[in-house]
Structure 1
Amino acid sequence: MKNALEQRASLDALTAGRLARGRLQTSAGLTYRPYWWEAAPRRPALDALELPPQADVVIVGSGFTGLSAALTLLRNGRSVVVVERDVPGFGASTRNGGQVGSGNQKFRVKRLIAMRGRKKAEALLREGVAMLDTIEDLIAREKIDCHFSRCGRFRAAIRPEHYEAMARDMDDLREVAGVESFMVPRAEQRSEIGSDVFFGGSVLPQDASLHPGLYHSGLMQRIEEAGGVIVGGAPAEAIVPTASGFVVTTPRGTVSCRNVIIATNGYTGGLVPELKRRIVPVGSGIIATGEIPEALFAGLMPKGRVYGNTNRVFYYFRASPGERRIIWGGRVGRLANNTSPLAFRHLARDMLHVFPELEDVPVTHAWDGLIGYTFDEVPHIGRTAAGLHYAIGYCGTGVSRATYFGHKIALQLMGSKDGRTAFDDFDFPSFPLQPAAKQAVPVVETWYRIRDAVEF
């Protein structure tokens, strides 16, 4: 029997059920920052580090792209300074769900072939597989303890016709790019997920998961051990060409360098207008539950995979590594600011639709972040007209893509033939009326939600 203190704590807890129904008299215990920061705290933006006056390369942005590029450059004898507007790792690299995919599910195979041709489609799909291998190899080589696991991905079919379409697409993916997968019919889906709301699904057994906070911290540690410098609270305010390269100006000083890499993805602002026109930031929200009783937790995700669904406005979820918590993500709420529980209400609703037994489980953390979307929905790598290198636009599959593209843009900067990618010859289209496109994101998302509901 509960004592009075336990009963009061139970009444005050913001449970998934209360959040889903908007009963928000209290949000006791709800922390508005990424759960990943508990194990990997962010260091202060204005730390004691000074900005060096010179470097071979300045990298703007301290996410996975920038850190991957920095590590590749350092391992090849270049001096590197990474400048960051906020706390190092403040952006999406430590705000994502820690799901690691190939990016090969952005388009169905037949559509990709229709858009790009069979030869190019095959190259793109195979490079998606290489992205997964690259991040696994990097983590192993650098000995980064971040719970990396090839756990596999279960993608749940919202409707019976989605299952059939996925089955055909998995066949095409295997035939065109040799990607392993298998289908799980509805009658057997309890072997993959403790829910009956879906109509079966597909499994990509080579997809992976990691702890993004620990992965980011591990990359930072290896960079600094190799002599690289990462300076927070140092937004790049101007990049001025010189006879020998560039001068990058920040509030904490200037750095002269031979080359610059722009690695800002969804946080790309007006520093380089040529890139700003080509990226629209899209908000993403995530909640984390408290510890779930073992008897209940054991049946929810029995194989410990990462999970998603087939909706246009989809949600994704997984267990926190080594814990009985669920990390549940989707689009950010539009009707409240990101420090209000109402901004995350829809995530609790989706979670309880799949797992109604989590009604009384506390929600402890809620946070948001920005995804960088491109007009053609593919990532881009290359150089601007002024000679700035860039790698951006991961469209929601940034953990492996950012790591891979950061490595590749560093190799391209050094003139290595190993820097070539299947994405090199893509035109990088601007968004028509980019500011309007940014404002239109909630409208388009609402339209997609309606289509998901009525399926037309």
Structure 2
Amino acid sequence: MAHIGEQDGITIGSYWEASVGEIKEDRQLVGEARFDVAIVGAGYTGLSAALRLAEAGLSVCVLEANRVGWGASGRNGGFCCTGGTKRSDAQLISKFGLEEAKRFLAYQLEAIDTVDDRLARWNLDADRHSKGEIILAHRPRDYAGFAAEAAFQEETFGVEAAVLGPDALKERGLGGPEFHGGLHLPYGFALNPMKYVQALAAQVRRRGGRIFAHTPVTQFEQEGPNWRLATRYGSVQAEKVILAGNGYSRENAPNWLNGRLLPVMSSVLVTRPLSNVELNDQGWTSDLMAADTRILLHYFRLLPDRRMLFGTRGGIFETPDSLKAMRARGRADFDRMFPAWAHVEADHQWHGHVCLARDLSAYVGAVPEMDGVFASLAYHGSGIAMSSLSGEKVADLALGRITQADLPAVISRPLRRFPFPALRQLYLQGAYWAYGLKDR
């Protein structure tokens, strides 16, 4: 079984790495350089912004501490779906109003369409499957609320969600002892995230954008009208800067980031390919993206090569013992939820960072009191679509094509610091204990 390597290493041990073969290594920045725009982070956000800026004729570089796809963009579960906040629709309406909640949903759907359009234009085979996603009730009382939720979605947003009872789940090949009903949402699809991010990087290179790998930003300061980003063996001067590190951001580059993000862990395993007999024994033959109704949710899907992907939330500390315990909990959950596959070995298991913010929503916009610096961060575990569109939007902000008012209010509030940020992991530990009780 392959496991994640050290955080400052290269190999993650993920199925996605194995599925794409050799990954292109961009060269390291050595010496002094000048660009119109410098971007920190070579994931979906940074590369989407770089592509937009390069297409507009600007010189742009992307500074990446490791390599393209090393962070969350190459480690996630491959769910291209709605997301970007941990607030419920009712909470969004209460806080921002109905019209802003509708604007935010439209933004999420535009984000999914952005990825869909790219796959089509680039003729990219990214192992796409699944028509929408299904939320599975892990308790009967959760299923009892699905009818009201489906009615709310249709009346409020025009979303045609379908409620599936236990028998309908089995007929659809969604069998398991903890699935008491489902709510099928019609938007989104699954893909191979590494194939997508590598194709995105190739488009940036083709347009003349420069990607510098193994080039962490170590210092961030203003020099006259420009910003100077110091790196290990050189520096970049640029008039404008975009922060696109998400949960892998360094909190001192710049200092504004300090205490504003909360990286949490998500663990993923992928089994060996399953036989027809094994699939039928479990009663799971569907290729729908799926997640359960727990706060500390599980997410899973049957891949095109009939491997099962299974992800969990709940890790806090990245010590060897903690990671071992997190993997063990994930495997125990898998065996309980899919008992017919308890004997099936996992060929790959790894973890990565999900990025949370104090206000429980992403931020796309200007960095306060830092003229010419912009950020797009904190996708709350659903970043493939959200970061793809938000990368374009933050580039448009830098270009002056749009203003902050053109974005939904949900993602327009600058990130606030957590109170006593040094205690963030303790907050998280307490929250996980509480969530574990609520999920029972």
TM-score by length of 2: 0.90
Does the CA contact (< 8 Å) of 1:371 and 1:396 recur in 2?
yes
Q: Report if the CA contact (8 A) 2:84-2:381 is conserved.
A: no
Give the Cα separation in 2 of the matches to 1:386 and 1:361. Answer: 52
Map of 2:334 onto structure 1: 351
Quick one: structure 1 residues 429 and 342, their matched pair in 2 at CA, closer, same or farther if it must change by over 3 Å? closer
Check conservation: 2:131, 2:188, Cα contact below 8 A.
Answer: yes
| Long gaps (5+) in structure 1 | 1-28
Q: Distance in 2 between matches of 1:61 and 1:272?
A: 13
The corresponding residue for 2:10 is none
Going from structure 1 to structure 2, the CA distance change for 1:449 and 1:42 (only over 3 Å counts) comes to farther
1:55–1:81: 8 Å Cα contact kept in structure 2? yes
**Given the alignment of the two structures, is residue 404 of structure 1 paired with residue 404 of structure 2, yes or no?**
no
Instruction: Give the 5 Å matches for 1:258-407.
Output: 258-269=239-250, 270-297=252-279, 300-320=283-303, 322-333=304-315, 337=320, 341-384=324-367, 385-387=369-371, 388-407=373-392
Q: CA deviation at 1:31?
A: 4.0
Query: Could you tell me how far 1:243 is from its partner in structure 2?
Result: 2.7
> Is the Cα–Cα contact under 8 Å of residues 333 and 344 in structure 1 kept in the other structure?
no
Shift of 1:64: 0.7
State the match for 2:165 in structure 1.
185
1:445 to 411, 417, 432: 432
Provide the C-alpha distance between the structure 1 equivalents of 2:216 and 2:28, rounded to a whole number of angstroms: 16
Q: Secondary structure in 2 aligned to 1:344?
A: helix
Number of the residue aligned with 2:9: none
Corresponding position of 2:181: 200
Q: Which runs of 4+ in 1 moved over 4 A?
A: 41-46, 48-52, 332-336, 338-341
Alpha-carbon distance between aligned partners in 2 of 1:425 and 1:334, rounded to the nearest angstrom: 28
Q: Distance in 2 between matches of 1:47 and 1:68?
A: 20
Distance 1:328 1:226, change over 3 A: same
CA apart distance, 1:165: 2.5
- The match for 2:232 among 219, 229, 251 is 251
Residues 389 and 235 of structure 1: CA distance in aligned 2, closer, same or farther (over 3 Å): same
Q: Cα gap change, 1:105/1:406 in structure 2, threshold over 3 Å: closer, same or farther?
A: closer
Letter of the structure 2 residue corresponding to residue 311 of structure 1: R
Residue 226 of structure 1 aligns with which residue? 207
Q: Which residue type is aligned with residue 320 of structure 2?
A: N
Query: How far 1:45 moved relative to its partner?
Result: 6.2
Give the superposition deviation at 1:353. 1.7
Backbone CA RMSD of aligned residues: 2.3
Assess, with a 3 A threshold, how the Cα gap between structure 1 residues 334 and 268 changes in structure 2: closer, same or farther: closer
- TM normalised by structure 1 equals 0.87
- Structure 1 residues 360-406: Cα deviation after superposition (integer angstroms, max 9, x where no partner): 11111111111110111110011111121100011111111111111
In the aligned structure 1, how far is the partner of 2:21 from the partner of 2:418?
36
Write the distance in 2 (CA, Å) between the matches of 1:435 and 1:132. Answer: 36
Give distance in 2, aligned partners of 1:307 and 1:380: 26
Asked whether the 8 Å contact 2:246–2:378 carries over to 1, the reply is: yes
Greater shift in the superposed pair: 418-427 or 161-170: 418-427
One-letter code of the match for 2:350?
W
Q: Aligned pair in 2 of structure 1 residues 359, 75: CA closer, same or farther (>3 Å)?
A: same
Number of matched residues? 424
Structure 1 CA distance, aligned partners of 2:436 and 2:299?
Answer: 15
Identity %, equivalent residues: 26
- Partners in 2 of 1:173 and 1:252 — Cα distance? 53
Task: Tell me the residue number matched to 1:176.
Answer: 156
Quote how far apart the aligned CAs of 1:104 are.
Answer: 7.5
CA distance in 1, matches of 2:87, 2:243: 26
Which digits, 9 at most, give the CA deviation of each residue in 1:37-90, with x for residues without a partner?
A: 012356476846757712111100111110111111111111111011112221
Higher deviation after alignment, 256-265 or 166-175:
166-175
Q: Which residue of 2 aligns with 1:209?
A: 190
Indicate which of 397, 403, 408 corresponds to 1:422: 408
1:163 aligns with 2:143: yes
Which SS does the other structure have where 2:240 is aligned? strand
1:70–1:410: 8 Å Cα contact kept in structure 2?
yes
Report deviation, 1:30.
3.6
In 1, Cα distance between equivalents of 2:14 and 2:46: 20
Alignment deviations for residues 108-140 of structure 1 (CA, whole Å, 9 cap, x no partner) = 322321222122112112222221112211222
Check 1:226–1:260 CA distance in 2 against 1; reply closer, same or farther (3 A cut): same
Letter of the 2:370 counterpart: A
Measure how far apart 1:201 and its partner are.
Answer: 1.0
The whole-number CA distance in structure 2 between the counterparts of 1:170 and 1:245 is 51
